[in-house]
Amino acid sequence: MSEASDQRGCAYRLLDSGIHEFVFLDNDKQSLDDFFVKLEHILRETSHTAVAHYLVDIAHASRDVSLVGLTQRFRRMETQIPHRPSGRTVVLHKPGFMLTFIDGFIRALAPSRDETRFFPVHQREDAIRWLLSE
């Protein structure tokens, strides 16, 4: 799998820290398909006893990325890969996006083996610190 992708769609790279970084540059079917192909590869290749770290940047997409659509599609994939690693995910978003406000509610309502937090894109370093703070 490539360490970097094109300047369109969903760019991927594995950071030196072990974080899988995805940057959405477009919000179209091809971008979402690209993201899920890469994610499925990671889930299948990573030990189910490990914790995978993800940085998903949706702040640069040409249109807003549907988090509901991403979640629904992930839930379908999850049934296909029942023995997958736990995930710790940061979603970087545009400033002013309501996700920071509802972050606490999402964490309270959906506890599971995965953890997700939302940060404005300008708080990238704080987000990475949280991601690696297990």
Ranges of each domain in the chain:
10-131
Taking 60 as the threshold, does the pLDDT of residue 2 lie above it? no
Q: How far apart are the first and last CA of the chain?
A: 27
Taking 50 as the threshold, does the pLDDT of residue 46 lie above it? yes
Three-class DSSP category at 76: helix
Residue with the bigger pLDDT between 57 and 27: it is: 57
- State residue 4's pLDDT score: 45
29-45 and 67-80 helices cross at what angle (nearest 10)? 40
Q: Give the integer Cα–Cα distance in Å for 102 and 100.
A: 6
Mind giving me the DSSP string for 7-51? SSSEEEEE-TTS-EEEEES--SHHHHHHHHHHHHHHHHHS-TTSE
Fold of 10-131: Transcription Regulator spoIIAA (3.30.750)
- Tens digits of residue pLDDT in 57-87: 999 887 777 777 777 788 788 888 888 898 9
Q: Which residue, chain included where needed, has tokens 């992708």?
A: 5
The pLDDT mean for the chain works out to 82
